[in-house]
Amino acid sequence: MKTLNVALTTLVLLASTSAMAGTFTDYDTNKDGVISKSEAAASESLMKLFDELDANKDGELSKEEFNK
């Protein structure tokens, strides 16, 4: 039973990681390789995390920052 729980947890984490990678492209509407605050405004949940994810504080999210 414990092995099954670990396996299911791993699958959920992998699925959410790949969903985030696909979502980056959706948010980067002008396809410049970063998500600006105006692009992020389409998602209330992303806006709540934006400043925390913006590690270098440049006002944009790189793909690496977004996938943290």
pLDDT of residue 31: 97
Tell me the pTM: 0.68
5 falls in which pLDDT band (50, 70, 90)? low
Distance, C-alpha 28 to centroid of its chain: 11
Q: Which CATH architecture has domain 21-68?
A: Orthogonal Bundle (1.10)
Task: State pLDDT tens for residues 7-17.
Answer: 555 454 454 44
Task: State pLDDT tens for residues 8-41.
Answer: 554 544 544 444 445 899 999 999 999 999 999 9
Q: DSSP per residue over 3-63, as a string?
A: HHHHHHHHHHHHHHHHHHHHHHHHH-TT-SSEEEHHHHTT-HHHHHHHHHH-TT-SSEEEH
